[in-house]
Amino acid sequence: MSSKATIAGGCFWCIEAIYQLVKGVDKVVSGYSGGHTANPTYEQLHKDDTGHAEAVQIDFDDSVISYEEILQIFYYVHDPTTPNRQGNNVGAEYRSVIFYHDDNQKKIAEDVTNNFARSLWNDPIVTEIIPLDKFWPAEDYHQNYFKNNPNQAYCQLIINPKLEKFRSKFEGYLK
């Protein structure tokens, strides 16, 4: 059965590239969520106070991969202990958020955060767990960014190491 997950863990290019490798994931869309500006643009996100985070929306087959496993990958591949920051990317648009779609997802998100994530990280988890209000897809040039720009410096220096870390831990999840 097809399900959706919406998460923000820093740069959406990184998160998108990881989930595109996961068995059971049918589609990953980069976009914006968690803010107050309707249909924001990338430029607005980084110049104005839209309130949005760079996020991805994941369509997955929950008979192949569970929502819990989606979130375990999420907590492994980004640092959920740094508020409004992932590496050199600083600002509220890079905050860690799980946007739950229903009460069951909220319960699973709280459980994975309080148990799995806390076992991975020594510092306090700052990931927000909030209801999904609206997800706005990003501009076309942000979609499939790593696939379309594998030799770009950011992809080589930032995304590739995250992909290697993911592959080493979650080999059984690879397509």
pLDDT tens digits along 99-150: 999 999 999 999 999 999 999 999 999 999 999 999 999 999 999 999 999 9
Total-model pTM: 0.96
* Alpha carbon distance 109, 174 (integer Å): 22
Instruction: Examine the residue annotation and report whether 14 is marked as an active-site residue of this protein.
Output: no
The catalytic residue among 11, 18, 97, 108 is 11
Domain of residue 140, CATH code:
3.30.1060.10
Any residues with CB less than 8 A from the CB of 21 and at least 6 apart, and which?
A: 163, 166, 167, 173, 174, 175
Find where tokens 């760079």 sit: 54
Into how many domains does the chain fold?
Answer: 1
Cα 40 from chain centroid (whole Å) = 18
Output the pLDDT for position 9: 95
Domain that holds residue 128: 2-173
